[in-house]
Amino acid sequence: MKRAIFPGSFDPLTLGHYDIIKRSVTLFDEIVVAIGINADKKYMFSLEERKQFIEDAFKDHKKVKVVTYEGLTIDFCKEIDAQFILRGLRNPADFEFEKAIAHTNRKLSKIETVFLLTASNTSYISSSIVRDVIRNNGDYTKLVPDSVRVK
C-alpha cells in the first residue's frame, strides 16, 4: 500500500490544502492528513476544530484519514508505515524551505517527499492570510472549504 502523510498545522484548512489533498488521492492508496501538535505555537483554532474541518471536508473520501501527532514527522511516518511525505508548493520560497526539510528527512530516513504544485487559482492562499482576514472580519469563505466556519 502506498501511504502518504500530508503534515501541517492546518490553522485553518485552506482551498490550497484541499486542492493538494484532493489531487493526491489519485497518486496514493491512502492520504493521512497529519496535524502536528506544537505546544509552543499559538493557534487560532483548537486541535479539535482543525481536525473536524478536515474530516468534514473529506467525509466522502475513503482514502483520506485525519490524525494528530507530536514529534518528528519521519518518526510518525515510520510509526504508521507511510512511505511518502506530501507537500504543496505555492512559490519558489516554499520550494527552498521544503527542499531543505526533504533533504534532512531523506538523510535521516528512507522516506521520500513528493511535491505537488498548488493550482494557480489557490497559489496565493496561506493559512496566515486566512487568519488575518478572519481577525479583520473579512470574507474568508472564498479562501477555505465550506467545512471551515468561524463561530
Please say if 17 is a catalytic residue: yes
Q: How far apart (Å, rounded) are the C-alpha atoms in residues 8 and 51?
A: 11
Sheet strands side by side (includes 30-36): 64-69, 30-36, 3-8, 84-89, 112-117
Confirm whether 109 is a catalytic residue: no
Is residue 107 flagged as an active site residue? no
Please check whether residue 87 is in contact with residue 115, taking contact to mean a CB–CB distance below 8 angstroms.
yes
| Annotated active-site residue in 41, 42, 62, 107 | 41
Q: Residue 31: helix, strand or coil by DSSP?
A: strand
For residue 76, what are the contacts with CB-CB under 8 A and spacing of at least 6? 5, 7, 34, 69, 82
CB 46 within 8 A of CB 68: no
24 is catalytic: no
Catalytic residue of the set 24, 51, 87, 127 = 127
Which residue among the candidates 3, 65, 90, 99 is catalytic per the annotation? Answer: 90
Active-site positions? 17, 41, 90, 127
